[in-house]
Structure 1
Amino acid sequence: MDFDFDLFVIGGGSGGVRAARIAAAEGGAKVGLAEESRMGGTCVIRGCVPKKLMVFASEFAEAVDQGRAYGWDLENRGFDWKKFHPHLREELDRLENIYRTNLEKAGVKLFDARATLADPHTVKLATGESVTAKHILIATGGHPHVPEFPGSELACTSDDMFLMEELPKSLLIVGAGYIGCEFACMMNGLGVEVSMMHRGAMILRGFDEEVAGHICEQMGDSGIDMHLGCSVMSMEKTDGGIFVKATNGKDRTYDRVLYATGRKPNSAGLGLEEIGVRTLKHGAIEVNEWSQTSVPSIYAIGDVTDRVALTPVAIREGHAFADTVFGGRKRKMEYACIPSAVFTQPEMGTVGLTEEQAMQDFEIEVYATAFRPMKTAFIKRPERVLFKLIVDADTRRVLGCHIVADGAGELIQLAAIAVKMGATKEDFDATVAVHPTIAEELVTMRTPVRRS
């Protein structure tokens, strides 16, 4: 059977774009790609990139305060969102254009339309056109989810935060995962009065508990009003804003309420069930180790599956798919020791096992230190950094590394190489320290703080 394309990709996010480009440029495949919104997907348009730029912007108030303490004659006249926001939009437009240009250079045919599955080899476009493909890759990502409750329609999500025409004076963030915590820190840094409400007893569920507690304490010290162990009962629009009734009895009105309580896969309405593609809980597409679905001609990668929801993971899944199907190199994504960063203030970087995870399968030693770094100790600031290594007591292999400090995201990328290679605690110890730096603590911790 002759097909219009060797590969048709549904979704123009980072994973889908990588798969399409590699299949076309390196695999010689005839590739089509459909994207119903903006090229670049969540990461580029409404996620990692605009978030990180807002994080950069939010750090300057603290930098001015520190500069004054160091002797500089500096004045902080406040943050101008109306000056920053157009520049942010221009940058996202520039990046989207780069994605389009690179795809076109690789020979990928682009369709600016929603695409759904008509059968295992046919894609139907919202324009009314249908195309056929030998292989179809679903890379539609995910979206923020707001649970239903009285007044839930008044909530905004992380997608909306990048479209604001002006900053709110007060903001309630519901949910304390990495997205909620990042927005709490950045909005607090931009001068917004921030409150956070979370039904759990600790923020950043799934991360190392000691590390999460360290960040939670510093978020509170920075002025964020933390409310743990409670949730929203209802919301109501009033003349003064959004009135929130909470289970802890601390009801009040906010200008804006951001819900960061989880995300769901963008799988609804694609025609999956009709052609036999199996899905899991919450609509995630079930795939095997090669990203292949229950229908052999259809594959799925990224956040629409139930694996690790990180942009670099989606990119590697897309690349592995293209190498396997079109490059003559069977390659699977490895999910062990994936490093990640949470861009709170201070940042957290992590790779490998948490202490809680490691205790389940290993006898471990924990090496940890928390201290005031030279930069802020000099000006009598209270902020503290944290370094933590989880070590297998038998093999001496470093099972996990966790850092809370300015630049932790940069530091953990380098530490992750050693952890991924199976470095031992003695390998860390044998490395000469770079002095004076905060990162030298990674190679100077000699005595475990506890064993278990």
Structure 2
Amino acid sequence: MNSFRGHGGAAETDVVVIGAGPAGALAALRAAELGARTTLISSGEFGGMAANEGPVPVRAFAYAARLMRDARQLPQYGITESEPVLHFDRLRARVREIVHDVGTRTALRERVDALGVSLHEQSGVARFTDSHTIETDRGLRLRADRFIVCTGGMSRRLAIPGIELTSSHSDVWNATEVPTSMLVVGSGHTGVQVASMFNAFGTRVELFEGGPRILRSEDDDVAAAVASALRDSGVAVHERFGTITSFEKTRVGVRLNFRNGDHEGHAEAALAVVAAGWVPDTAGLNLARAGVAIDAHGTIQVDEFLRTSVPHIFAAGDVTGRLMLVPGAVEDGFVAATNAVQGPTQPLRRRVSPSGSFTHPEHAQVGLTEAKAREAHDVLATMVPFDSAVRAIIEGRTFGFCKLVVDRASCRILGCHVVGERAVETVQLAAVAIAAGMRVDDLARVAISFPTYAEVLVHAAIRAAAELRLPLGGYAAHMGVRASPA
């Protein structure tokens, strides 16, 4: 790679990576491994949204909610204890400790440092001044041969009167106390997690979804089960509620006004949280100055090598708008950096990307939903309930199911959907099976530790293999697995 020499006070480097989240950190690591002089800049702390506002703090708050629910279960096991009391200020302090530890102790950070990557944190927003130069709000100016844009995403803001009276999910984590009541607008993964956690903390929660069901990207059975569980736990779930017309400040908080046909209604709470989607964080980059093409939503257009419309500028992660998950961002970062340093040699491969949410109950999925699979396949769907799993019975966590979607012709697993205790971990096993190209009878023959929650996955595979009349030997052949209709 040919480097630029310093120009106009700009420091010279081979590769500049903008953004230090999962995509950016991996891109910087890979570029440095390949011998490029690499600079990694971040407007905030190392780790980006994932470590500082997203999965890491979300999981920490979810763990606190879980502990409160577990404490309330103690009397079932003969353990006498008073009702748990949450001290939110102490929880926030603990979450800050966790975020700090993740940012400073992660092996990824250690490797970035060990490879000599020049890291600039808290550098402010970066913007292009031309296609080879960037400068930041804090005065850093860099000129480079290649750039990789990894600035991630941000909460979508709705163009509704009074929207400034609402909070984002990030604002909620920084609240000084648990609100007595909360309106959550938007029922994707983020909105449902916020609703579930604060319900556990004692907040009266109402969840609003304009469409026909919550979790619209999930399998139909998953969405129905989670909605049912939320309602049973005390969350008021409003589906098809209509269209928001405005937010208003009230004496005690915020009022949401909405219209549904000819009917006008409202709901009021101490706090309103809008979680209406996630959009690429590209507005401040001045990409037009560099000649980089974006669409109407601010998404950077890339090819299979993650090149933008400018051949020496690459993009990875949420800014590409394709699959806004940490595993995909990590793979993007690796591929973008490889191609930035070595030229366009490695196309982005098809991903097996599991996802899940730390709600109560947990839900997770990998592969195709049943409805999507039926568009192109002759499908068998089997569903095994948690109340047939020994571990779930032991721990009193019998709500939920594991659903497998299988192609009848090839017997390949097309999708797995789990609602219930340890759903996120269970789906990881299904992701490995799908990535390995296993047939459902292969999975059915896997020996599984007893008793574990992962049993439901293998039991679902046994059930599917039996319905497909596939020969099974040993343990699998003699298992009587009760199934729920799918």
Q: Distance in 2 between matches of 1:314 and 1:87?
A: 27
Equivalents in 1 of 2:234, 2:331: separation in Å? 39
Structure 2 alignment gaps of length 5 or more = 5-11, 468-482
Residue 126 in 1 paired to residue 134 in 2? no
Q: Secondary structure at the match of 2:208?
A: strand
TM-score, normalised on structure 1? 0.93
Q: Deviations over 1:90-133 (max 9, x none)?
A: 22223333466553332122232322112221112324443211
Structure-2 separation of matches of 1:185 and 1:353: 25
User: 2 CA distance for matches of 1:339 and 1:298?
Assistant: 29
For residue 298 of structure 1, what is the amino acid of its counterpart?
I
Question: Residue 109 of structure 1 aligns to which amino acid in structure 2?
Answer: S
Secondary structure of 1:148's counterpart equals coil
CA distance 1:245–1:374, shift in 2 (3 Å) = farther
TM-score by length of 2: 0.87
Structure 2 CA distance for partners of 1:237 and 1:134, relative to 1, 3 Å:
same
1:358 aligns with 2:373: yes
Instruction: Note if contact 2:17-2:39 (Cα within 8 Å) is conserved in structure 1.
Output: yes
After superposing the two structures, state which structure 1 stretch, 43-52 or 15-24, moved more: 15-24
Where does 1:378-397 land on structure 2 (aligned, <5 Å)?
Answer: 384-397=399-412
Matched with 1:180 is: 191
* 1:283 match: secondary structure: coil
Q: Could you tell me which of 252, 271, 274 is aligned with 1:259?
A: 274
**Conserved 8 A contact 1:367-1:388:** yes
The residue identity in structure 1 corresponding to 2:114 is K
Aligned partners of 1:336 and 1:352 also within 8 Å: no
Mapping 1:116-155, distance limit 5 Å: 116-155=127-166
- The answer to whether the 8 A contact 1:364-1:451 is kept is no
Structure 1: how far apart are the matches of 2:48 and 2:310? 25
- Structure 1 distance, partners of 2:359, 2:425, is 14
Choose which of 296, 302, 308 in structure 2 pairs with 1:287.
302
The within-5 A match list for 1:46-125 is 46-98=53-105, 102-111=111-120, 112-125=123-136
Question: Which residue among 403, 406, 412 is the counterpart of 2:421?
Answer: 406
Distance 1:244 1:442 in 2: 42
Distance in structure 2 (CA, Å) of the matches to 1:434 and 1:376: 14
Q: What SS does structure 2 have at the residue aligned with 1:59?
A: helix
Determine which of 286, 290, 293 is the counterpart of 1:271: 286
Task: Work out whether residues 160 and 245 of structure 2, in 8 Å CA contact, stay in contact via their aligned partners in 1.
Answer: yes
Cα 1:329–1:129 shift into 2, 3 Å? closer
Q: Is 2:72–2:84's contact at 8 Å kept on the other side of the alignment?
A: no
2:24 aligned residue: 16
User: Does structure 1 residue 369 correspond to structure 2 residue 384?
Assistant: yes
CA contact (8 A) 2:185 2:275 kept: yes
Match of 2:49 in 1: 42
Deviations 1:319-340 (A, max 9, x none): 1222334368943333332111
Kept in 1: contact 2:365–2:427 (CA 8 A): yes
Correspondence 1:208-227 to 2 at 5 A: 208-227=219-238
1:49 and 1:450 mapped to 2: Cα distance?
Answer: 34
SS at match of 2:333: helix
Q: Which amino acid aligns with 1:310?
A: L
For residue 408 of structure 1, report the CA deviation from its aligned partner.
0.9
SS of the equivalent of 1:243 reads strand
Write the distance in 2 (CA, Å) between the matches of 1:93 and 1:439: 32
Match of residue 441 from structure 2: 426
CA contact (8 A) 2:126 2:284 kept: no
Query: Is contact 2:354-2:366 (8 Å) kept?
Result: yes
CA–CA separation in structure 2 for the residues paired with 1:287 and 1:60: 43
Does the CA contact (< 8 Å) of 1:365 and 1:450 recur in 2?
no
Tell whether the 8 Å contact from 1:386 to 1:405 is kept in structure 2 after alignment: yes
Aligned to 2:7: none
Distance between the aligned counterparts of 1:341 and 1:221, measured in 2? 21
Summarize the Cα distance change of 1:127–1:441 in structure 2 as closer, same or farther, 3 Å threshold: closer
Letter of the 2:348 counterpart? M
Give the equivalent residue in structure 1 for 2:346: 331
CA positional deviation for 1:390 = 0.7
Conserved? CA contact 2:88–2:177, under 8 Å: yes
**What is the aligned-residue identity percentage?**
32
- 1:50-91 deviation per Cα after TM superposition (whole angstroms, max 9, x unaligned): 000000000122211222111111222311101111121122
Aligned residue number for residue 169 of structure 2: 158
Corresponding residue number in structure 1 for 2:323: 308
2:34/2:341 contact within 8 Å kept:
yes
User: 2:356 touches 2:363 (CA, 8 Å); kept in 1?
Assistant: yes
Q: Does structure 2 retain, via aligned residues, the 8 Å contact 1:23–1:327?
A: no
Which amino acid in the other structure matches residue 53 of structure 1?
A: A
Sort the Cα spacing of 1:10 and 1:218 in 2 relative to 1 into closer, same or farther, 3 A. same
The alpha carbon displacement at 1:36 in A equals 1.5
